[in-house]
Amino acid sequence: GQQLNQSPQSMFIQEGEDVSMNCTSSSIFNTWLWYKQDPGEGPVLLIALYKAGELTSNGRLTAQFGITRKDSFLNISASIPSDVGIYFCAGKYSGNTPLVFGKGTRLSVIA
């Protein structure tokens, strides 16, 4: 099946630091989504991207749809303890195909 490579797998950062994570695909996507999952909860949508080159912010979060349409990046500025969780990227190929999810980046914030 189709696969997304998400990195890093996990991160330990100090409170106040900025965070970057990314997803890459071997195929072209026409939609990229970023989700966050808190422990014991379902994933919650953070940012949706629909056009190559698109840069979208949601508070301290910024995500970009790569120009090649094969990658996407998520940045979190000035991290806080509540940023802890697992961040998933998800993408969609053209046509009538469901979303494909990456394996997630587990973020830990040290106060």
Partner 1 sequence: NAGVTQTPKFRILKIGQSMTLQCAQDMNHNYMYWYRQDPGMGLKLIYYSVGAGITDKGEVPNGYNVSRSTTEDFPLRLELAAPSQTSVYFCASSFSQGVEAFFGQGTRLTVV
Find the binder of partner 1 among 14, 82, 96, 111 (CB under 8 A).
96
Q: Report whether the peptide linkage leading into residue 43 is cis, meaning its omega lies within 30 degrees of zero.
A: no
Residue 14 or 41 with smaller CB distance to partner 1: 41
Q: Min. distance of Cβ 16 from partner 1 in angstroms?
A: 28
Count other C-beta atoms under 10 Å from residue 92's C-beta: 17
Q: CB of 31 within 8 A of CB of 64?
A: no
Question: Is residue 101 a contact residue for partner 1 (CB under 8 A)?
Answer: yes
Tell me the C-alpha distance between 27 and 53, whole Å.
16
Torsion from C-alpha of 88, 93, 75, 13, nearest 10 degrees: 30
Least distance in Å: CB of 72 to partner 1? 14
Site for partner 1 in 48-67 (CB under 8 A): 48
Contact set for partner 1, span 25-44 (CB under 8 A) = 31, 33, 35, 40-44
Q: Least distance in Å: CB of 85 to partner 1?
A: 13
